[in-house]
Amino acid sequence: MDFDVVVIGAGLVGASFALALQTAGLRIAVIDTLVPSTSVARDDWDSRIYAISPGSEEFLQACGAWQLLDTARLCAVEDMHVIGDDEISALNFGAYAAGMRELAVTVESRELQSALWQALMEAQHVKVIAPAACHELVLEAAAVQLSLADGRSLRARLIVGADGADSWVRTQAGLKVDTRPYAQTAVVANFATAQAHRGVATQWFQRKGVLALLPLPGERASMVWSTATAHAQELLALSPNELAMRVVTASHGKLGDLRVITPAAAFPLRMQRVQRLVMPRLALVGDAAHNVHPLAGQGVNLGFRDARELARVLTARGAQNDCGDFALLRRYERARKEDIATMQLTTDTLQRLFDTDNAPLAKLRNFGLRLVNRQSALKNLLVRQAVG
């Protein structure tokens, strides 16, 4: 049980990171508490849908996972409409105007996770240890010692925490995290729609939160309604028909009548800033390293960019043999700092701007939407940043 890299967490980010190390010449182990699942039910839809950016899609292709997806369950997002709470102000982004094929592709979480598990199981350079629970982590100068609850122990030069927002690795290492709950909960559900979405994702910024309807294959849409927790609880208590009617009203009937096809589920929302992404022999990626509001649909894309960058730094380490070397890991941290800080600032500012009853601010935010909408160069810049 001697490895170069041990990755804790085989979620979307941890699994893709391990796969991306295929040419790094390293011995890798991936540990998860869950039982690996390489097959998914296809008679219903997962309530958790991600909008995957073209940059993330390219990365997942290189990892050997994207090509394992069933294309009939993917849907291209060609346009995005953001509507202000005065119902007049709008900001529209189009793939065509930005010279792209699509802005994003929607995919079910479980579909992508199972493709990643499948690729991991077939990868020659990775040993999967799952299900397994971690017991103790000891960081030494020359190595990391990890013991599992079943008595097994592992030794590695580098440990990577990809174990989500409540990261065990981060806690064991004593890395500081600044957590701010948003007092909001995201309610997600899928609907059959009476009218075609035409590849358009729409977001309504409202005083009660942000409602997003993302396109799914056929006449279906996925909802993420980030709203005050009391309102979320009210929505969750409704019957499927009542919920559908509420969403029709809140979305101004844009997709016509709706019918719930996947029951509503809830995710409490919080902002998390982690001061350091690395320390000697340890690095964090994905939600273990940052947690952002889902209003920009960028959380997992941000995590894929961490995975891509850390894998790139380790693969290009050259004469540096020790993959847990602090100077090497600092290169990763420096490269990721700006992207993470920009996404945290953007999502947090937008959330605050729309989570207020202050009348001048309400005017300003709607004016801001209209202003940005008229600046095609700025819009293209925003699109380029979101699709990376």
Ligand X SMILES: Cc1cc2nc3c(=O)[nH]c(=O)nc-3n(C[C@H](O)[C@H](O)[C@H](O)COP(=O)(O)OP(=O)(O)OC[C@H]3O[C@@H](n4cnc5c(N)ncnc54)[C@H](O)[C@@H]3O)c2cc1C
Contacts with ligand X by CB under 6 A lie at 8-14, 31-34, 50-51, 134, 162-164, 168, 186, 188, 224, 267, 286-287, 294, 297-301, 303
Closest separation in Å from C-beta 178 to ligand X: 17
Query: CB of 287 within 8 A of CB of 303?
Result: yes
Which tokens in the block code for residue 286?
């994905």
Closest separation in Å from C-beta 72 to ligand X: 20
Nearer to ligand X, 32 or 108 (CB): 32
Nearer to ligand X, 83 or 112 (CB): 112
Closest separation in Å from C-beta 194 to ligand X: 24
Closest CA relative to residue 146, chosen from 168, 122, 179:
168
CA angle 226, 227, 230 (to 5 degrees): 140
Closest separation in Å from C-beta 364 to ligand X: 27
Nearer to ligand X, 342 or 376 (CB): 342
Closest separation in Å from C-beta 332 to ligand X: 15
Rounded alpha-carbon distances, angstroms, from residue 325 to 306, 328, 354, 355: 18, 5, 43, 43
- The conformation of residue 128, written as its DSSP 8-state character, comes to E
Nearer to ligand X, 147 or 317 (CB): 147
The overall longest dimension of the chain from CA atoms, in Å, is: 63
Query: CB of 10 within 8 A of CB of 33?
Result: no
**Residue 311: φ, ψ to 5°:** -65, -40
C-alpha–C-alpha distance, residues 1 and 150, integer Å: 14
* DSSP codes, 82-119: EE-TTSS-EEEEETTTTT-S-SEEEEEHHHHHHHHHHH
Closest separation in Å from C-beta 159 to ligand X: 11
Closest separation in Å from C-beta 369 to ligand X: 20
Nearer to ligand X, 27 or 110 (CB): 110
Query: CB of 170 within 8 A of CB of 284?
Result: yes
Nearer to ligand X, 8 or 258 (CB): 8
Nearer to ligand X, 59 or 89 (CB): 59
